[in-house]
Each structure stands twice: as structure tokens, then as C-alpha cells.
Amino acid sequence: MAIRVTKAVIPAAGLGTRFLPATKAMPKEMLPVVDKPAIQYVVEEAVAAGIVDVLMITGRNKATLENHFDRVGELEAALERKGDIDRLKKVTYSSDLAEVHYLRQGDPLGLGHAVLQAKMHVGVQPFAVLLGDDIIDERDHLLQRMLNVQAERNATVIALQEVDSSHAHLYGIATVSPTNESDVVRVNGLVEKPEPGTEPSNLAVIGRYVLQPQVFEVLASTKPGQGGEIQLTDALQVLSADETIAGGVYGVVFKGRRYDTGDRVDYIKAIVELAVEREDIGPELRPWLKRFAEGLD
Ligand code: UTP
């Protein structure tokens, strides 16, 4: 019988160098997207898919993250005194979302190394990994679909999205073959950030994974790869090449709305896209944005 996935790991220990100096004293996962830090969207998504236990892998600036998902007595008391119940709800919501645990990565030796830190917490069950700088629109149930595929196939499941070939060198890229389900592919190989023009397909790995616990053994023996970092993609490459280790690797091809907040231009686009759809600020923002766009050459 399939085991229900209840634990998620959110690595948030990267240096966030593309956002310096904003990320000098705070992780990039805490950058606000409209009025919520990016990582809160991600925790909300995990909870909506049935995750109850979240482990955040933190780096040198862990305090802001921990504070965000904790109670803030003074603020709550002040809002209560003012009778500002709407804002009080917003403040307490993030602390009541899920059981959140924290673990330090020490040195940021790469995403694979960050995931490896979760070994003791996760134990021997499949688990989800969500990257805090990729936001999936709440109307698209990508993680839920991935969990279903994991339960059906008892394999590793990654999320793939078609990207323009000019962007392929920024991602892990998969070599795939079809399965009997139109949105699911068998992953036969993976390469991290291929040299421009050498990418084996235009299917890029995006920041959602459902991993088998065997990934920890593979990560423990994965040598630093691209950029001198221990790459999760390299461990997935090993798992994709040998179905006997943990059932192989499958990809769910995602065609929904994804907002990449790890890159400065994409971050701004994400804020605009999400803000214009909001009932509270969209109506004021839309006409201004149209006028502003008309004035651009
Ligand atoms: P990125 O490569 O996008 O993050 O890692 P980064 O290194 O912080 O970004 P830049 O390029 O310097 O701006 C993908 C995810 O893996 C986490 C990051 O926090 C991010 O969510 N990560 C990366 C870790 O937790 N530890 C690491 O050692 C590296």
C-alpha cells in the first residue's frame, strides 16, 4: 500500500547572491511577493497538498524565517488593542499553518547537500522538497498531482516545465520518454545547467520534488558537480539510470502558472502578475499599469 507523504523539506540556506544587498541580512525566500514572503506561499501550497510537517534548511540568516512562522506577542497584542482583527488574522495565520522545524546547513555546499541534512528528520519515507523561490499558483495543484504519481509508481517524481532553449542553461534539463499518462514522462537522464546549445530537451526541472528515502544514500556519495556544489540533479541522474535503486524517476510535465522569484526580473514580473489578480489591490493597480505601459517605448 502507498505511504501518504506528510513531510516536506524547504531548503532556504542559499546565499541569494543575485539579490544582494537585499539578501545580506535575510534569506531570499523572505523577500515579499506583494505582501507575503515567498516562502509563505510555498508552505501554504505544501499544507494544501496534505503536508503537516515542514523542515526548513536554514543558513546564516535563519532568525527572520523562524520569527515569521512563530508567534509575535507584542504585535498581536497591539493589533488586538486596536481591534484590527483582519490584520491580526494575517499575523497569526503564518504561525498556525504547519508544524515547522529548522535545521542549519552549516556551509552552503549546494541544494543536494541541503537536502541531505534532512535525513534524520525524514527517516525512511518518501518526502516532498519545495524550493522557496518557485511559486506555483494556488489554482494549479502540481504537488498534489506529483504525490499521486509517486503513490501509483512508488518512484521519485520531479516537476518539469518547457522552457525556451535560450533559458535551458539556467536549469537542470531532462531526457525523457513517454508513459501511458499524457502529463507523466519517464526521466532517462538529467544534466545540470548544460552549456548553451547542448541541452538534450527543453524540459527543465522546476522546484518541486517527491523523493524516495534512498536519495540520501546517493547524495552522501555525490561529489561536488556544477559550480563546485553538491547537486540534487546529479543524485537524481543516478536514480534515473537505475530503476532497481528506488523505482526510477518520473516527471510530471507542468503546464500551469509558475512564478520564479529567484531572478530579479522574474521576481518583479511575479509581483505584478499576482498583484493584478488580487481583489483588494488589483482594481487600483490595473488601470495605472495600463497607463504606465502605454507610456513606455
Ligand atoms: P539557488 O542556486 O537558486 O540559490 O538554489 P542561491 O544559491 O541562494 O541563489 P543565487 O544564485 O546565489 O542568487 C536553489 C535553492 O536551494 C537552496 C536555496 O536557498 C534555494 O531555495 N540552497 C542552495 C540551499 O538551501 N543550500 C545551498 O547550499 C544552496
Percent of the chain at pLDDT exceeding 70: 100
Measure the N-to-C terminal CA separation of the chain; round to a whole number of Å: 59
Ligand 1, atom 27, residue with closest C-alpha: 110
Q: Is the pLDDT of residue 95 over 80?
A: no
Instruction: Report percent pLDDT > 90 for the chain.
Output: 78
* CATH superfamily, region 7-262: Spore Coat Polysaccharide Biosynthesis Protein SpsA; Chain A (3.90.550.10)
Give the pLDDT mean for 159-163.
97
Could you read off the pLDDT of 115-145 as tens digits, one per residue? 999 999 999 999 999 999 899 999 999 999 9
pLDDT at 87: 87
pLDDT at 195: 92
Q: Which helix (H) or strand (E) holds 211?
A: strand 203-211
Q: Is the CB of 251 under 6 A from ligand 1?
A: no
- Residue 43 · residue 10 · CB < 8 Å: yes
Reported as a pLDDT band with limits 50, 70 and 90, residue 1 is low
Q: Domain map of the chain by residue range?
A: 7-262, 263-297
Burial of 253 (0-12, 13-18, 19+ CB in 10 A): middle
- Cell 504525490 belongs to 147
- Best probe residue, ligand 1, of 39, 41, 111, 231 (max atoms within 8 Å of C-beta): 111
pLDDT surpassing 90 at residue 203: yes
pLDDT (0 to 100) of residue 226: 84
Contact 126 CB / ligand 1 (< 6 Å): no
